[in-house]
């Protein structure tokens, strides 16, 4: 697995035309077409073919080689409630070894005209100075309005050509469709979106989610472009329960890990954590509702570039590693939808195979770090008993219901950097989670250690 750490400090060349006190982005001729055929670098000896929901290993001679690409699908900038310029944020991810990034601002795509003032955001002077060092003092268009300095934000079309490189870094258009029902937030990211989709409202949380998902899938149908929705941070504001999530049709993704400290990844005494919700959703969708499995993404949900700590939503806390032949949007979307990826908060995999009735996992082990690989699943014919969570007054609480411990059982545990699980028969699905003894340097929760989440597999 490669990790591109080289820093790239491309500065835009001066252009003859200016507007107000700054210059426009690069001309169209400098853009990189993300859908072009890009050569994939080698992932020795392995090539993956999705067949009937299975990931099948082929000899490299029979299929194009595939490799792992690191990316983040949930990030914010000054276009909504982030605290830095979008091109500065994208440069950080590129400089730190990411291969792709989706800037997913709230109810905004990075297009059109948008101005910000220094008083609008905290740490704006630091953001401005850093942007000028990287992109030049005349990069941003500036104006004075009623005695206040304002700066025009660059669109994705204006800055992507400065950062994208074939086979190294890709920008993917995105947006966080931000809505809700009553006091319950419902946020849905749309990855590789082509046109803005407005916030969706309805009479309950499930219907709001369904309308948002349907809108993204309808745009995919109309445009022919590969794109997908994913449900963001279900426990943010305790907005989405497992009962809501399991019923959404057409949705294949949710965030099992989000680096924002406000999203309650591990739940509390009343609310289920993300992994528990994942198992409930998988068991019900596969065993009762006749719906496909839902994959678990890891993201950082970056908002705060200049303040760091467990109470801030900082960059670099969660990401996905996607195995595909090429670094372009169609290839990445296809691999994600086939489940050929894992989410991570710091653990890297050397080997991941799921074929026939066996899953093999091997960690890219770090010296002095201990690893535990746990295989989790639910068996066919599981105990479907469930009951609502009740308050001290005996009234039902809006929270994920209580389910049998037979849902999300630990099927096997291996201590060490490698493990294999062979299906015994009757497993509805099997997923794996790798935990480690390595403390995260800037965790969203104190004491948090690095982990990886491997997608559900249905043994044949």
In this structure, the strands spanning 349-355 and 358-363 are antiparallel
User: Does one domain contain both 196 and 300?
Assistant: yes
Give 201's pLDDT tier (boundaries 50, 70, 90). confident
Residue ending a domain, choose from 101, 125, 152: 152
**187 burial level (CB within 10 Å; 0-12, 13-18, 19+):** buried
* Residues whose CB falls within 8 Å of the CB of residue 377, separated by 6 or more in sequence, listed in order: 408, 409, 411, 427, 428, 429, 430, 431
Residue closest to 314 by CA, chosen among 119, 75, 6, 97: 75
Contact 343, 319 (CB under 8 A): yes
In the DSSP assignment, the letter for residue 440 is P
Q: What is the CATH number of the domain that holds 287?
A: 3.20.20.140
Residue 60: is its pLDDT beyond 90?
no
User: Does one domain contain both 276 and 345?
Assistant: yes
Q: Identify the residue with better confidence: 20 or 32.
A: 20
Residue ending a domain, choose from 152, 179, 199: 152
pLDDT one-digit tens code per residue, 69-124: 999 999 999 999 999 999 999 999 999 999 999 999 999 999 999 999 986 557 89
User: Does one domain contain both 261 and 162?
Assistant: yes
Overall residue count recorded for the chain in this entry: 460
User: Does one domain contain both 164 and 284?
Assistant: yes
pLDDT of residue 121: 58
pLDDT of residue 355: 87
pLDDT of residue 120: 59
User: Does one domain contain both 401 and 273?
Assistant: yes
In the chain, how many domains are there?
Answer: 2
Q: Identify the residue with better confidence: 130 or 121.
A: 130
Residue closest to 331 by CA, chosen among 31, 66, 102: 66
The reply to whether 4 falls in a domain is no
**455 burial level (CB within 10 Å; 0-12, 13-18, 19+):** buried
In the DSSP assignment, the letter for residue 244 is H
- The lowest-confidence range among 201-205, 210-214, 231-235, 381-385 is 201-205
The reply to whether 9 falls in a domain is no
Tell me the C-alpha distance between 232 and 236, whole Å: 8
User: Does one domain contain both 274 and 396?
Assistant: yes
Give 8's pLDDT tier (boundaries 50, 70, 90). very low
Mean per-residue pLDDT over the chain, rounded:
88
User: Does one domain contain both 61 and 207?
Assistant: yes
User: Does one domain contain both 128 and 272?
Assistant: no
Give 16's pLDDT tier (boundaries 50, 70, 90). very low
**Arithmetic mean of pLDDT, 187-196:** 97
pLDDT one-digit tens code per residue, 243-285: 999 999 999 999 999 999 999 999 999 999 999 999 999 999 9
End-to-end CA distance of the chain: 29
User: Does one domain contain both 174 and 131?
Assistant: no
Tell me the C-alpha distance between 417 and 348, whole Å: 11
Rounded to two decimals, the pTM is 0.86
User: Does one domain contain both 81 and 143?
Assistant: no
In the DSSP assignment, the letter for residue 214 is H
- The lowest-confidence range among 217-221, 342-346, 355-359 is 355-359
User: Does one domain contain both 283 and 392?
Assistant: yes
In the DSSP assignment, the letter for residue 325 is S
Contact 143, 150 (CB under 8 A): yes
Neighbours of 170 (CB within 10 A): 27
pLDDT of residue 24: 39
Contact 376, 411 (CB under 8 A): yes
Q: What range defines the domain where residue 124 resides?
A: 115-152
Residue ending a domain, choose from 126, 152, 178: 152
**Arithmetic mean of pLDDT, 206-219:** 97
Angle at 313 between CA 310 and CA 315, to 5 degrees: 105
């Amino acid at each position: 697995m490669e990790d591109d750490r080289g820093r790239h400090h491309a500065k835009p060349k001066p252009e003859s035309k200016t507007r107000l006190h700054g210059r426009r982005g690069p001309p169209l001729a400098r853009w990189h077409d993300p859908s072009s055929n890009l050569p994939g670098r080698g992932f020795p000896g392995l090539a993956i073919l999705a067949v009937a929901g299975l990931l099948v290993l082929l000899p490299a001679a029979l299929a194009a080689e595939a490799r792992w690409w690191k990316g983040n699908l949930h990030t914010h900038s000054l276009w909504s409630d982030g605290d830095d310029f979008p091109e500065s944020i994208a440069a950080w991810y590129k400089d730190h070894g990411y291969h792709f990034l989706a800037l997913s601002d709230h109810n905004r795509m990075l297009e059109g005209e948008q101005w910000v003032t220094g008083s609008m955001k905290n740490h704006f002077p630091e953001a401005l100075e850093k942007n000028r060092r990287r992109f030049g003092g005349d990069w941003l268009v500036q104006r004075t309005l009623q005695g206040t300095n304002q700066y025009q934000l660059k669109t994705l079309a204006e800055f992507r050509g400065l950062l994208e490189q074939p086979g190294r870094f890709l920008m993917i258009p995105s947006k966080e469709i931000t809505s809700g029902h009553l006091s319950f937030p419902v946020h849905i990211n749309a990855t590789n979106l082509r046109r803005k989709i407005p916030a969706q409202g309805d009479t309950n949380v499930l219907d709001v989610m369904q309308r948002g998902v349907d809108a993204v899938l309808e745009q995919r149908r109309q445009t022919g472009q590969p794109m997908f929705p994913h449900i963001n941070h279900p426990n943010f504001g305790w907005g989405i329960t497992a009962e809501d999530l399991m019923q959404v049709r057409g949705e294949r993704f949710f965030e099992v890990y989000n680096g924002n400290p406000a999203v309650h990844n591990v739940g509390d005494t009343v609310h289920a954590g993300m992994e528990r919700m994942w198992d409930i959703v998988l068991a019900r969708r596969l065993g009762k509702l006749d719906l496909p499995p839902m994959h678990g993404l890891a993201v950082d949900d970056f908002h705060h570039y200049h303040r760091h700590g467990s109470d801030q939503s900082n960059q670099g806390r969660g990401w996905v590693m996607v195995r595909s032949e090429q670094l372009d949007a169609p290839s990445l979307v296809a691999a994600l939808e086939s489940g050929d990826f894992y989410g991570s908060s710091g653990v890297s995999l050397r080997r991941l195979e799921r074929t026939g009735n066996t899953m093999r996992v091997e960690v890219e082990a770090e010296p002095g770090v201990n690893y535990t690989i746990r295989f989790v699943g639910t068996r066919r014919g599981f105990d479907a008993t469930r009951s609502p969570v009740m308050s001290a007054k005996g009234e039902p609480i809006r929270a994920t219901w209580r389910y049998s411990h037979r849902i999300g059982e630990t099927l096997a545990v291996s201590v060490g950097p490698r493990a294999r699980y062979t299906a015994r028969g009757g497993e509805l699905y099997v997923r794996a989670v790798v935990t480690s003894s390595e403390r995260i340097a800037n965790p969203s929760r104190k004491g948090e250690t690095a982990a990886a989440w491997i997608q559900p597999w249905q043994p044949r």
